[in-house]
Amino acid sequence: MSPASKALAEFVAEATEILEALGKDLLVLDERRGQEADPERVNGIFRAAHSLKGLAGLFGQERISRLAHGTEDLLDRLRLGKLLLDDAVLDTLIEALDAFQALLAETAHGSESEGLSRRAEGMAERLGRLGAPVAARDEDPLDRLELDAQVRAVFTEYEEHRLRENVRRGVSLWRVRAAFDLSDFDKGLADLNARLKPLGEVISTLPSAQPGGAHGIAFDLIFGAQVAQAELESGLKGTPAELSQLTVRPSSASARSAEALSRAPLAQAESHAALVVASPTDVLPQTPATRRGGRKKGARATPAPAATAPGARAGDASHPVVESRRAAAPEARADAGPPPGPGPASQAWLPLADPATWGARPGPASGDWALSADETRSGVEATEGHEEVAAGRGTRPARGPVGNPGAASVVEARSQGGRGPGTSGPVPSLVTYLQGPGGRAPGRTAPASDRPAAPAPVPAESSLRSLTQTVRVDIGRLDGLINMVGELLLIKANLQRLAESARVDGAVPLSKLFGQELARETRGLERKLEALQEGLLEARMVPVGQVFDKLARLVRRITREAGKEIDFVIGGGEVELDKLIVEELSDPLMHLIRNAIDHGVEPPEVRLAAGKPRRAVVALRAEQKGNHVVIEVSDDGAGIDELRVREVALGRGLITFAQAEEMGRRELLNLIFLPGFSTARSVSELSGRGVGLDVVKNNLGNLSGIIDVWSERGKGTAFHLTLPVTLAIIRALVVGVSARTYAVPLNSVLEILSVQPGDIRTLERREVLDVRGQTLPFVRLSRLFGLPERPVSRYFVVVVGLAQERLGIAVDELHGQQDIVTKPLGGRLQSVRGISGATDLGNRRTVLVLDVAALLEEGMAQERRRA
């Protein structure tokens, strides 16, 4: 690799990592639309964009750098509270991610298309214009904080903003001082941070400028506590932390506020519990996009008897939220402008302080939902800048969204039953992002004829696969491997010594002791090599959650497009699989999930009519079962009608009547995986199930996995994908048939039987065995591969199984077990059924490796053909 291409590869790898992290964070924001964003998350996204900008700049990737600049700029305004995160902003960020991905793909392939350049350029420009500014405040709350100017001088703009926010909300602020040993202070700090996190926000970590002795170092953490002092103290027990509270001077209006609070009735607390948003800021929605139907925040601006003011509860540590923002006094609303939004559905939602604040709200909850954005806005402005209210100039007309025509359509679409921007406007193509640019093997995806006739078809060349083949390895694992190599070197030294002494002693017959020593070292070598192999395999493992996360973003997108209401549930994301398998899994899973959403799940009205909950559940779960991982894609939708499947299969001549008569429910359902089963017509007939499922099945087959379906009318459908944990090195059973040798992956071998020819019986013209009262389908490998059959007195039957399928494979000889590395067969041999690859057995003999999944299918197909 040339230095230039190596540098480019490094750039792509790191940029990919950054984008992945960014995508993950955006997903969380997307999931929690309408709630206030966690400042740390927004800052994380900002940092990602910031790193990307720097990185792209250094590598001369101007297009990415420019877009990153625009993105960073927007995020900077967000995290500094100068801009609020509404739907339009979030959608644009998701769109920007899509653009980044596309740009990076072009970079990786060394191309640069003008269309994309223009798109990125336009995107960057839009980012710059996006969003409504947050109203400026007159008073800087930071001025009320008594903090050494020198300390303040080391805060970044962001840290300063977070500090300001905490002061403004009346959070009690602490200086947590802790001294650690220089050698492991990071561990100590990490521990301290872990304890502090649940109790509030660590705003800044300052290494103390005072030399902490020869081997020590002290830190000051500026901490905004969401809990009372006692709880904070008990939470820090056992750490070297010392607490001292930072003084915040009360603001001028606090006295009045305290009085108002003391009169406040608590009756409203429960009825408004649902309205509480995690932690509020002044980031107040002003664009129509944030006004979403049914959000009962309008009551937030309930007329209050008097303008109350923040700071009232500064001394009350058990209620850390100080500001009671309910100064939406009637006079503030009086001169509000005409409502710009379409009535009740467009109430602005307002950030709330804390349940305590709700409980303390004075005055009647008027149930006045029809507040306009202006009104609500004025309410908050009044609270934020309470002095303004007191001065009697409460309201200012709301500033509409600036240069963001998309926002209005977003609102409209949302208020009509959750159809999102995907259908209503030029907003993002998360799908395209998810599909990623230029998947590695477009040829493997479904042919056009098999595509769903869904309203928004996925482009055929789509893939969720990663751009790079990089695997990030946990440093602990890597260290373990390096240690093992060290131990191997030790054993090598011992063996060398033994060899040396054997050489020097020459003709002297080797002693028994020597032999024992040699055997011991060899055993040690073997054990270590095994451990090393295992360790290396582990290093290839990545959590399936990686692909689940990508899919979750897709689900949100499709759900919106399809007008369905779906809760997407993910489980077992921590289950690890070979990186290669995880990558290849994304497309089949995407297929299945799209089917579930588009066709499995009924529209909300239909569900309600059927007595089901309005919201459907689509679940994606992984579970490790021994050497395999089972991934389940399920929905609680309408299910598949196996009788319709039967009809379609008969109609297409895929099965005969006689076969159909014999088939059980499960067998009938599994017909949907047959090639040719799914066509455009069958899509509508079977509410779309079966779309490209043969392709899904083939994809899985390539991974030595199999797929199985369960479905019940009215209850739902579940697909089970059973996959090996790794493809790299596997243990194999070496067998002989007609003087040829084959390897069978041991992870799919269930047992081996010795069978007399007389034990084989024919049932419905197929050969079967009776094993412990069960009928086992049976194939002779020699017949399957068209090899000359030799008369034998007994067969060895290798019983293989994946998921529910079982098959007995008759072979002549068993040669034992061996670790093998399967190499793919190139060129035309690739499509030979029943063979997954070739391997070297070490004695320079190359043998073919059986593809168990394909054989299981073949066994079943044969049954059908023979019938």
Binding site for other proteins (CB under 8 A): 10-11, 14, 47, 50-51, 53-55, 57-60, 65, 69, 72-73, 76, 150, 153-157, 159, 182-183, 185-186, 189, 204-211, 217
Q: Which long-range contacts (CB under 8 A, 24 or more apart) does 529-537 make?
A: 529/488, 531/484, 532/481, 532/484, 532/485, 532/488, 533/729, 533/819, 535/477, 535/480, 535/481, 535/484, 536/481, 537/578, 537/726, 537/728, 537/729
Tell me which residue of 749, 470, 474, 724 sits closest to 578, measured CA to CA: 724
Q: Which is nearer to other proteins, 65 or 324 (CB)?
A: 65
Least distance in angstroms from the C-beta of 457 to other proteins: 37
The identity of residue 79, as a single letter, is R
Q: Which helix (H) or strand (E) holds 68?
A: helix 62-79
In terms of CB distance, is 209 or 267 closer to other proteins?
209
Cβ-contact 239, 199 below 8 angstroms:
no
Dihedral sign for Cα atoms in the order 423, 424, 426, 428: negative
DSSP secondary structure letters along 193-230 = HHHHGGGEEEEEEEE-SS--SSSEEEEEEEEEESS-HH
How do beta strands 795-802 and 616-625 pair? unpaired
Cβ distance to other proteins smaller for residue 190 or 499: 190
**107 or 204, CB closer to other proteins?**
204
Q: Which is nearer to other proteins, 51 or 257 (CB)?
A: 51
Q: How far is the CB of 17 from other proteins (least distance, A)?
A: 9
For the CB of residue 185, give the shortest distance to other proteins in the complex, in Å: 7
Q: Closest approach of Cβ 47 to other proteins, in Å?
A: 6
Q: What angle do CA 4, 6, 12 make, to 5 degrees?
A: 105
Compute the least distance from the CB of residue 50 to other proteins, in Å. Answer: 6
The residue (of 155 and 548) whose beta carbon lies closer to other proteins is 155
Determine the Cα–Cα distance for residues 144 and 164; give it in Å rounded to an integer: 10
Strands (E), 65-209: 172-181, 200-207
Measured CA to CA, the distance from residue 304 to residue 307 in angstroms comes to: 7
Strand 616-625 with 566-571, pairing = parallel
- What's the min distance (Å) between Cβ of 150 and other proteins? 8
Please, what is the minimum distance in Å from the beta carbon of residue 30 to other proteins? 23
Least distance between other proteins and beta carbon 49 (Å)? 10
List of E strands, 611-724: 616-625, 628-635, 706-712, 716-724
Decide whether 44 or 428 has the Cβ nearer to other proteins. Answer: 44
Q: 808 - beta bridge partners?
A: 778, 799
The least CB distance from residue 166 to other proteins, in Å, is 17
Residue 218 CB, nearest distance to other proteins (Å)?
Answer: 10
Minimal distance, residue 46 CB to other proteins, in Å = 9
Q: How far is the CB of 94 from other proteins (least distance, A)?
A: 22
Minimum distance from residue 541 beta carbon to other proteins (Å): 22
Q: Which is nearer to other proteins, 166 or 432 (CB)?
A: 166
- Decide if 514 contacts 498 (C-beta within 8 A): yes
Residue 813's beta-bridge partner residues?
736
Rounded (to 5) percent helix, strand, coil in the chain: 45, 20, 35
Rounded CA-CA distance 864/866 in Å is: 5
Query: Which of 221/301 has CB closer to other proteins?
Result: 221
Nearer to other proteins, 47 or 528 (CB): 47
Q: Put the strands of the sheet holding 761-763 in their side by side order.
A: 749-755, 795-802, 805-811, 774-780, 766-771, 761-763
CB of 53 to other proteins, least distance (A): 6
Contact partners, residue 711, CB within 8 Å, separation at least 6 = 639, 640, 642, 669, 717, 718
CA nearest to 569, candidates 585, 590, 551: 551
Angstrom distances, CA of residue 381 to CA of 87, 135, 259, 286, 374: 21, 8, 21, 12, 10
Q: Which of 730, 731, 734 is nearest to 815 (CA)?
A: 734
The number of C-alpha atoms within 13 Å of 400 and in the hemisphere containing its C-beta is 11
Nearer to other proteins, 185 or 223 (CB): 185
Name residues whose C-beta falls within 8 Å of residue 81's C-beta, 6 or more positions apart in sequence.
Answer: 134, 161, 164, 165, 281, 282, 283
* DSSP letter assigned to residue 554: H
Of 51 and 711, CB closest to other proteins: 51
Can you tell me the distance from the alpha carbon of 759 to that of 638, in angstroms, rounded to the nearest whole number?
44
Question: Do 219 and 209 meet the contact criterion of CB atoms below 8 Å apart?
Answer: no
Task: Return d(Cα 712, Cα 98) in angstroms, integer.
Answer: 38
Instruction: CB nearer to other proteins: give 56 or 797.
Output: 56
Residue 600 per-residue DSSP state = I
> For other proteins, which is the closer residue by CB, 44 or 288?
44
Least distance to other proteins, CB of residue 340, Å? 33
Q: Which is nearer to other proteins, 472 or 614 (CB)?
A: 472
Beta carbons of 132 and 283 less than 8 angstroms apart: no
- Closest distance to other proteins from the beta carbon of 28 (Å): 18
The minimum distance between CB 532 and other proteins, in angstroms, equals: 27
Q: Which is nearer to other proteins, 57 or 359 (CB)?
A: 57
- CB closer to other proteins out of 47 and 325: 47
